Structure 1
């Protein structure tokens, strides 16, 4: 076996083991990876975007039929500039079974996360076996598995690139790596669109700057600053559209607040090793505790602490400075307010805490377990196990049988680990314990009951509902979130974190696309331009959930298409005017109307007012025979044009800040290539 193959073997083992372990939650619960936001928002949208990409439409900035949730550039969360995301959207679009698609994509990112953690541990001189143990354990930490992977997958995608950015940036600081790599990994973290990715990049680069400053390495400081500037140039491309739409949108939870929601206490981090521990943290569904082991890291962490050589930390503290800075900074964030600007639910920071702590643990484990003063170490370990077992019991005494099984795993596993100390079998025992703990947890906690329990179809083909024809408005929650994107019809309901404020108020619609019982009544009220909103939106079908409104009014020009115990379906009897475009009302003379999501072409025969069935997102521009025409906000935020004369009218849209964002990103790419070329030349010239 070549030296390269021997070096790659542990990394390959990490990939294989994590890929296999990732199947266990799926085998226990087929919908484990399609939960909460993954069910309502991410997977349906990925499938939709993948279909659009396959049809040659990129970038997919806007879907006007998706109304509040259709401004994908403003959402930022879908990473339209991230090539890994886009490749996965194409992949998901090939699946009919969304549960299986979720398994494939999320397994991919768990594997990538593990490989990144392995490389980072190796960068700090952890031995391959020790680095592999931490790398395998990290993806199956309680928060990472049950929250980021099962539900809030954009967080997993962002977190995945943090260890790679850290690893490659530290190599550049040491003068042995190309600056192109931290730029690429940092850009991947930023372009996921999740602000926690941007925060992570800033944190690791700042921590490495502190480390370089302590050792007075000016060259390292300069290299890190240049990398940071290049990554920062990518930020406008992702976040300028979000900021540009802030005037018309609203996002829940912004600002600073302390509601208690998913706010861990410092004491919660004393128990990261008991697989059955459900900490006393407020959740969406329970005001007292998590339904899953949300602060769990790895079974071996607490039991093995007394057996590690902590003198190594004292000897190597300077080179571990960045690790301590990241650990301390994120610990402060984790126990901080529940809302800090764009960052909500501080429990989300726990996985970066465990990444940093995992590096230290891998470094210490690489030196082997201490076998001197055995009696004292046994006593300390026993005390630690009993203390963590008591904390677990105190949080959920009625689950004492689970806690006894967890304690038995820790006792037996620790005894085997100490017995096999400083042998190759030690690491096998540690990984086997990770697998066994995961088996127990997926049996005890087959789903995350802390988040929304959405009902959704098993396959995309099941969503081809006959009730939904043309533009469809629903009263209630018949189709949840962005699952409407998978219908042949254009459903107004959508999931969005950046709702159009005026439209939301006018339609009585929340961020899930669910409407109140009075939703249809609000659409039938006359508007400031005359016709009711149901006409201005070009609605062709209304699906009313019986549980919300058992006896909906049938407006003039409509009929009851179908009624059963679940829904009443109303359908328009007449044709929608201007079928080739989105004009919904006008007192001007129109002889032509053609449209795409981002463009509308009209032929106006006499002056007047034109209302279009599209939301007036910032970024619209209208021209009449080459001369600008004002675009204003009409009823419910719809686009209104006041046309002064006859002529050819063109309406176009592009995301706010797109051009400066593209210019900045192009400069970043050119700068990264130039810096990498300079680095290569200098190394060849000066060795």
Structure 2
């Protein structure tokens, strides 16, 4: 029994240590800045959508479409809502119940960083690392610069994918290379794909293709079939999750995405020399010039790589080299590849590849293969990296010098331990490692972990928050829910709501982007990754819901085609005008009144509120209909008469996926109002307009086929195991 306990402790102590240190380092950031994990897209995007998802789930439904949210309300196409992700459901339900938004997102993000650590440990072990070195990189990977200051602080789904990927890769190799149960891969890959963040899926495709090519070259029929099964499972779920966005993109600004290099959020070759310098920024440009954060930082220990070269049995690391090369090509690639923007988002995956190689190389070389010549090569690399970093960033010379000094000290200590102890080793040592050598490895690894924690603390003192912009939104969810809670019908915000966000009192008057989901009001100014082109152009609205000054004039102007005010066609009953855009009180249109003047906003309400968006908003001359039923995804009406203008307009965007029974779709009024043509339709006919995520038959087919692939995989594995037992 004691032996079993010792064995279990021997297996668990290193991953447990690395996970606890990862959690401790992640939590220390909150001690310095309680809002560290609650900024930018998390603050204005993720939390609000999670809260809304939780509200839907608490009512026993999933969100598919919300006409009142307009361009932000096509949830299947939005993707990152994670509509089919049980993990995102848990995040959403907990968000809906959470009293504090920052506390909620902090808990989940630290949990995912812990998963990152566990996955890195398992992945490094899978490729041949010893437990101590695997534990070291399991602490370093979640502490890399981009992961900490971009994904963890702001881009939640990017964080989730990166944190889960090592576990997915480990589970894939476990199933394909070793013939173990496919369930860990099936569950992990399903979770990664259903998060709805395409970059993680791209990386998974690289790994799957690499595995398939490798086994085809080796003519390993069994592993080819396993890889094909794993690929088919992932591909079919990718169709289910991403095809609606692809099918919808034609009517959105994504269809106009260019292929070009503007130098925005991509790296130069010289930036690679900063990957071991924790307190420098490199030359990565973003919204305000050079990004003020260590986005290219991987690990301070990288210049010690020459100590462990050449890598023994390097061929076993070929899949890692392939991934690392592909990710490096992305990071250094053009800033815009159509809808795939900002290639530096691939940094976490480059980190994974580099650190796995480091762990395996150190395992196979330390201490036996270390030489003085290799130590001098490491000195040369430290000096070269420091010099090139200094040339690009001369103002950071103190930080660069401090990092180089730290690396030289670490190099001296590791080389001294290896060379001194090796010189006194007995010939029997050659046959295998002695317990004393294991103690020396443990000492080096634990010391490196402590240095990694210290480096993380130094980074936090220099950069207390993400370089991405925050808006200092309240974290108390109850206060967020009370904003505009007395509005009747639908509302829209016009003007630049960003200015004045730092004043806590401004949040009593308005929210921003997806935080509007917490309000009882139906507000269309929410966040979207797919701005509907004609709608966004007409109201000059960006993906965060910010509009220009002319948007108010457009809303109160008369549509030439219908003769109605645009606000009537959109079923808008409340308008919040930002005072930063409208310093003087705008003149209200007929039927509207100024109902509240705040310090930051003008509030206008319709004298007679309209119903929320989604229903019939206009009929052509001589045409009349009677509405029968209305839901988020459908509307039915009976045709009372068809006149000289047989059109019926609905207050809905004409997303791909709409179908009509009893009539036909017509060209959209104003290019963005769903319009029905009743030409030739008899009086009394019932017309039903229905929305399903497009192309729905393919989605259903892919969904069903994914489970058939899994069943076939499980049956094939069970059959092979039975055959092996009989032959054995």
TM-score, scaled relative to structure 2: 0.87
Say whether the 8 Å CA contact 1:600–1:650 is kept in structure 2. yes
Say whether the 8 Å CA contact 1:159–1:200 is kept in structure 2. no
Aligned match of 2:57: 53
After superposing the two structures, state which structure 1 stretch, 529-538 or 10-19, moved more. Answer: 10-19
After superposing the two structures, state which structure 1 stretch, 526-535 or 249-258, moved more. Answer: 249-258
The separation in 2 between residues aligned to 1:656 and 1:581, in whole angstroms, is 19
Aligned match of 2:714: 676
Aligned to 1:677, what secondary structure does the other structure show? helix
Aligned match of 1:226: 229
The separation in 1 between residues aligned to 2:409 and 2:599, in whole angstroms, is 56
The separation in 2 between residues aligned to 1:519 and 1:2, in whole angstroms, is 70
Say whether the 8 Å CA contact 1:233–1:668 is kept in structure 2. yes
The separation in 1 between residues aligned to 2:635 and 2:219, in whole angstroms, is 59
Aligned match of 1:571: 605
- 5+ residue gaps in structure 1? none
The alpha-carbon deviation at position 492 of structure 1 amounts to 1.6
Task: Indicate how the Cα distance of structure 1 residues 674 and 95 shifts in structure 2: closer, same or farther if over 3 A, else same.
Answer: same
Query: Which of 113, 116, 119 is the matching residue for 1:113?
Result: 116
Aligned match of 1:582: 615
Aligned match of 2:40: 36
Aligned match of 1:662: 700
The alpha-carbon deviation at position 603 of structure 1 amounts to 4.4
Aligned match of 2:465: 447
CA offset digits 1:231-287 (Å, max 9, x no partner): 21222211221122123111287341111112212232223222112101222211x
Aligned match of 1:637: 672
CA offset digits 1:516-559 (Å, max 9, x no partner): 01111011221111101111111111111111122312111111
The separation in 2 between residues aligned to 1:347 and 1:199, in whole angstroms, is 14
The alpha-carbon deviation at position 680 of structure 1 amounts to 2.5
Aligned match of 2:348: 351
Say whether the 8 Å CA contact 1:523–1:532 is kept in structure 2. yes
The separation in 1 between residues aligned to 2:277 and 2:132, in whole angstroms, is 23
The separation in 2 between residues aligned to 1:535 and 1:206, in whole angstroms, is 52
Is 1:427 aligned with 2:445?
yes
CA offset digits 1:165-194 (Å, max 9, x no partner): 322222333233223433433333322222
Aligned match of 1:546: 579
The alpha-carbon deviation at position 401 of structure 1 amounts to 3.6
Task: Indicate how the Cα distance of structure 1 residues 589 and 290 shifts in structure 2: closer, same or farther if over 3 A, else same.
Answer: closer
Is 1:595 aligned with 2:630?
yes
The separation in 2 between residues aligned to 1:206 and 1:87, in whole angstroms, is 32
How many pairs were matched up? Answer: 675
The alpha-carbon deviation at position 580 of structure 1 amounts to 10
The alpha-carbon deviation at position 406 of structure 1 amounts to 3.2
Is 1:462 aligned with 2:479?
yes
The alpha-carbon deviation at position 499 of structure 1 amounts to 1.0
Is 1:103 aligned with 2:106?
yes
Aligned match of 1:495: 527
Aligned to 2:441, what secondary structure does the other structure show? coil
Is 1:555 aligned with 2:589?
yes
Query: Which of 484, 489, 495 is the matching residue for 1:476?
Result: 495
Say whether the 8 Å CA contact 1:195–1:342 is kept in structure 2. no
The alpha-carbon deviation at position 430 of structure 1 amounts to 1.2
Say whether the 8 Å CA contact 1:468–1:491 is kept in structure 2. no
The separation in 1 between residues aligned to 2:372 and 2:331, in whole angstroms, is 36
Say whether the 8 Å CA contact 2:571–2:612 is kept in structure 1. no
Is 1:522 aligned with 2:522?
no
Aligned match of 2:564: 531
Task: Indicate how the Cα distance of structure 1 residues 252 and 147 shifts in structure 2: closer, same or farther if over 3 A, else same.
Answer: farther
The separation in 2 between residues aligned to 1:507 and 1:4, in whole angstroms, is 63
The alpha-carbon deviation at position 131 of structure 1 amounts to 0.7
Q: How does 1:65-84 map to 2 (within 5 A)?
A: 65-84=68-87
Say whether the 8 Å CA contact 2:484–2:520 is kept in structure 1. no
The separation in 1 between residues aligned to 2:589 and 2:615, in whole angstroms, is 22
After superposing the two structures, state which structure 1 stretch, 212-221 or 585-594, moved more. Answer: 585-594
Task: Indicate how the Cα distance of structure 1 residues 420 and 486 shifts in structure 2: closer, same or farther if over 3 A, else same.
Answer: farther
Task: Indicate how the Cα distance of structure 1 residues 125 and 366 shifts in structure 2: closer, same or farther if over 3 A, else same.
Answer: same
The separation in 1 between residues aligned to 2:715 and 2:609, in whole angstroms, is 62
Task: Indicate how the Cα distance of structure 1 residues 652 and 277 shifts in structure 2: closer, same or farther if over 3 A, else same.
Answer: same
- Structure 1 vs Structure 2 CA RMSD: 2.4
The separation in 2 between residues aligned to 1:575 and 1:376, in whole angstroms, is 81
The separation in 1 between residues aligned to 2:469 and 2:671, in whole angstroms, is 28
Aligned match of 1:506: 538
The alpha-carbon deviation at position 378 of structure 1 amounts to 4.5
Say whether the 8 Å CA contact 1:166–1:205 is kept in structure 2. no
The separation in 2 between residues aligned to 1:640 and 1:215, in whole angstroms, is 58
The alpha-carbon deviation at position 681 of structure 1 amounts to 2.7
Aligned match of 2:238: 235
CA offset digits 1:22-80 (Å, max 9, x no partner): 1122222222212222222112111111111121112x121222111111111222222
The alpha-carbon deviation at position 376 of structure 1 amounts to 3.8
Is 1:392 aligned with 2:389?
yes
Aligned match of 1:149: 152
Task: Indicate how the Cα distance of structure 1 residues 581 and 674 shifts in structure 2: closer, same or farther if over 3 A, else same.
Answer: closer
The separation in 2 between residues aligned to 1:609 and 1:468, in whole angstroms, is 34
Say whether the 8 Å CA contact 2:141–2:298 is kept in structure 1. yes
Task: Indicate how the Cα distance of structure 1 residues 316 and 382 shifts in structure 2: closer, same or farther if over 3 A, else same.
Answer: closer
Is 1:340 aligned with 2:337?
yes
CA offset digits 1:620-647 (Å, max 9, x no partner): 2233xxx344365223512223443234
Aligned to 1:605, what secondary structure does the other structure show? strand
Aligned to 2:572, what secondary structure does the other structure show? coil
The alpha-carbon deviation at position 352 of structure 1 amounts to 1.4
Say whether the 8 Å CA contact 2:22–2:114 is kept in structure 1. yes
Aligned match of 1:20: 24
Say whether the 8 Å CA contact 2:267–2:284 is kept in structure 1. yes
Say whether the 8 Å CA contact 1:475–1:517 is kept in structure 2. yes
Task: Indicate how the Cα distance of structure 1 residues 567 and 170 shifts in structure 2: closer, same or farther if over 3 A, else same.
Answer: same
Say whether the 8 Å CA contact 1:274–1:296 is kept in structure 2. yes
Task: Indicate how the Cα distance of structure 1 residues 101 and 307 shifts in structure 2: closer, same or farther if over 3 A, else same.
Answer: same
Task: Indicate how the Cα distance of structure 1 residues 603 and 215 shifts in structure 2: closer, same or farther if over 3 A, else same.
Answer: closer
After superposing the two structures, state which structure 1 stretch, 163-172 or 260-269, moved more. Answer: 163-172
The separation in 1 between residues aligned to 2:96 and 2:413, in whole angstroms, is 47
- 5+ residue gaps in structure 2? 419-439, 498-510
Task: Indicate how the Cα distance of structure 1 residues 32 and 373 shifts in structure 2: closer, same or farther if over 3 A, else same.
Answer: closer
The alpha-carbon deviation at position 8 of structure 1 amounts to 3.1
Say whether the 8 Å CA contact 1:327–1:352 is kept in structure 2. yes
Aligned to 2:714, what secondary structure does the other structure show? helix
After superposing the two structures, state which structure 1 stretch, 528-537 or 364-373, moved more. Answer: 364-373
The alpha-carbon deviation at position 560 of structure 1 amounts to 1.1
